[in-house]
Amino acid sequence: MSDILIPVAGGGGTGSDECTASLDYVLAGKTAIASDSNDEPGNGRMTVNSLLSFSCAAYSGRRILAKWQNPKAAIGKPYSGVIIRYSTSVYPGKTGGTQIYKGAGSNTASGGQSQTYLDMPALNTTYYLSCTPYVTTNQGDLLGDTLNATVKTSAEQTVTIKATQNYTIPVGFSKMDTFCVGGGGGGARGEDGDSSTAGHGGGGGGGGYTNTVTGTAISAGQVLACTIGAGGSSATNPIDGGTTSIIRSGTTINSAAGGKSCGFAYSSGGNGGSGGGSGGYWHSNSAQNAGGSGGSNGGDGGGNLTPGKGQGTTTRAFGSSSGTAYSGGGGAGGGGTGSSARNAGAGGATGGGRGGDGAYAISSSSEGTEWSYAKSGTTATANTGGGGGGGGGGARSSMSANAEGMPGSGASGIILIRLY
């Protein structure tokens, strides 16, 4: 042990009376002569101040929010900030796991609440975190007592866009998959009948085309201009569905065209993601009155004339076999008759409109006079990209039952964004 110098007359030793620092300013575990050590070596009492609390919570994606309460200032209890370490198996303590943060956080006030955001490596993962107070010295960092917390990061997130808008990428995600469905095509109106010929049913509109893009790199704050394609109208001259698209900084990330309409009084089905059904028809030697069903999941429409063609690939969300089906083709209108009603075709799954029933008219001495007007096709379900139903055909008659049925409109499209 080193010699202790005791002051004597004419000597150069130092005693407690000449010291200005107490043992509170000497590290615990060290010895020194201080103002309160009575001229003898004393044990230091200085330790790093202790945190009052520590907690963590999931915030967004991989990002979590870490909070702690600063120590209350005290003599001999220095404090500079915190060191946070993490592990996926055990609390890492002062030296284990991986260090993710060192600093004082958002607030340095004595006893104040401080916080910081931490971006963890993975989604949907449980992390064990240790938070240790430290003080910086010329001999390196000195560490205090550790507090622990557990947190689970968020799972991947799917965002549904149903109306044209800008969407801002949130924090905590690095990639996205996108799925677009164009607007469905409008159905065609049925055809008038006359005294010699019954009218054809109108064709169903094609469902909106679909498209999936995977693995697009993203960063927080990027703005996506999302446009939702409108459904084709069922006015006098039905129109195609609109294009659905996602654009970032002028570059198109994903887009899907709208389904096709067959126009005025035309019994072929519209092409699209799933094809529209073709209209029913009648003439003197044939009774093919039933309207064709709309196609589903990328398939063609049904019917005896010219059904619409589907895209030939799945229309399920993100192309997954377990995803929700979109873009059903519109069912066609039934043809009119001169003797009885015939059922129109149904809309395809999911969202296609149903075709309208064809008209019939009876006028004979044995059956009397009876008729039923042609029914209108139905509008497809919104935000499915379904095609509109075709209108029913008019009856073979000179009575008012020869009027055609009106078509249904196609459905608006939709965008799905999967963040991970």
142-146, 151-155, 195-199: least confidently modelled range: 195-199
Which of 255, 241, 257, 235 is closest to 183 using CA atoms? 241
Distance of CA 115 to the CA centre of its chain: 28
Give the pLDDT confidence score for residue 236 in this predicted structure: 65
Residues 164 and 207 in one domain: yes
Work out the average pLDDT over 117-131: 98
pLDDT tens, residue by residue, 58-79: 999 999 999 999 999 988 899 9
* Res 407 pLDDT > 70: yes
Distance of CA 97 to the CA centre of its chain: 33
Domain assignment of residue 137, given as a range:
53-152
Cis check: omega of the bond before 350, within 30 degrees of 0: yes
Question: What is the rounded average pLDDT of the residues 384-392?
Answer: 88
Question: pLDDT value at position 5?
Answer: 32
Distance CA 310, CA 209 (A): 8
User: How does DSSP classify residue 267?
Assistant: -
- pLDDT beyond 50 at 167: yes
Report in angstroms the alpha-carbon separations of 265 from 158, 238, 398: 41, 10, 19
Highest mean pLDDT among 206-210, 277-281, 395-399: 206-210
Both 15 and 161 in a single domain? no
d(CA 100, CA 98): 6
In which residue are the tokens 């065209």 written? 257
Q: Using an 8 Å Cβ cutoff, are 253 and 265 in contact?
A: no
* Distance between CA atoms of residues 252 and 254, nearest Å: 6
Sign of torsion, CA 79 81 85 90? positive
> From the CB of residue 248, how many other CB atoms can be counted at a distance below 10 Å?
16
Looking at the structure, do residues 244 and 360 belong to the same domain, yes or no?
A: yes
Neighbouring residues of 305: CB distance < 8 A, sequence distance ≥ 6: 200, 203, 267, 268, 278, 279, 281, 292
What the block records as the tokens of 412 is 């608006």
- Least confident range of 171-185, 243-257, 329-343: 329-343
pLDDT of residue 7: 39
Domain identity same for 163 and 223:
yes
So what's the pLDDT on residue 397?
61
Domain total of the chain: 3
How far is C-alpha 21 from the chain's CA centre?
62
Write the pLDDT tens digit of every residue in 176-227.
999 999 999 999 888 777 766 777 888 999 999 999 999 999 999 999 999 9
pLDDT of 358 > 80? The answer is no
The number of angstroms, rounded, from the C-alpha of 167 to the middle of its chain's C-alpha atoms is 10
Tell me the average pLDDT across 167-184: 98
Beta strands in 263-339 (DSSP E): 281-283, 286-288
* Dist. CA 392–CA 275, nearest whole Å: 18
State the amino acid at position 88 in one-letter form.
T
* Confidence at 2, pLDDT banded by 50, 70, 90: very low
Task: Report residue 235: phi and psi, to 5°.
Answer: -70, -170
Residue 387 in this model has a pLDDT that exceeds 50: yes
Q: Determine the Cα–Cα distance for residues 187 and 388; give it in Å rounded to an integer.
A: 4
Of 366, 386, 370, the residue nearest 378 (C-alpha) = 386
What is the largest distance, in Å, between two alpha-carbon atoms of the chain?
149
> What is the rounded (10 degree) CA torsion for 321, 322, 325, 331?
70
Which of the four pLDDT bands, split at 50, 70 and 90, describes residue 372? confident
Q: Give the residue from 100, 132, 152 where a domain finishes.
A: 152
Residues 188 and 148 in one domain: no
Residue 135 shares a structural domain with residue 259: no
Written as six digits, the tokens of 68 are: 């702690």
CA distance 52 to 31: 29
CA dihedral 142, 145, 149, 153 (to 10 degrees): 0
Q: Are both 282 and 409 inside the same structural domain?
A: yes
Domain end marker among 152, 171, 190: 152
Last residue of a domain, one of 113, 128, 152: 152
Torsion sign, CA atoms 267, 271, 273, 275 = positive
Report, as an integer, the average pLDDT of 105-113: 98
The mean pLDDT of 105-109, rounded to a whole number, is 98
CB 184 within 8 A of CB 386: yes
Here the tokens at position 334 are: 């039934």
* The pLDDT value given to residue 207: 98
Mean pLDDT of the chain: 87
What is the reported pTM? 0.83
Same domain, 372 and 239: yes
Residues 107 and 216 in one domain: no
> Residue 13: what pLDDT?
60
**pLDDT at site 368:** 46
Q: Are residues 334 and 418 in the same domain?
A: yes
Check residue 339 and report its DSSP letter: S
> Do 378 and 394 share a domain, yes or no?
yes
CA 362 to chain centre: 55
Q: How far does Cα 345 stand from its chain's mean position?
A: 34
Residue 286: partners with Cβ closer than 8 Å, 6 or more residues away: none
pLDDT in tens, 299-318: 999 988 899 999 999 999 99
Reply yes or no on whether the pLDDT at 10 is more than 80: no
The answer on pLDDT for 11 being more than 50 is: no
Place of tokens 């990639």: 175
Banded pLDDT at 265 (limits 50, 70, 90): low
> Do 250 and 335 belong to one domain?
yes
Report the alpha-carbon distance of residue 35 to residue 17 in Å, rounded: 6
pLDDT of residue 394: 66
- DSSP β-bridge partners for residue 147: 131
pLDDT for 53 equals: 98
pLDDT of residue 396: 60
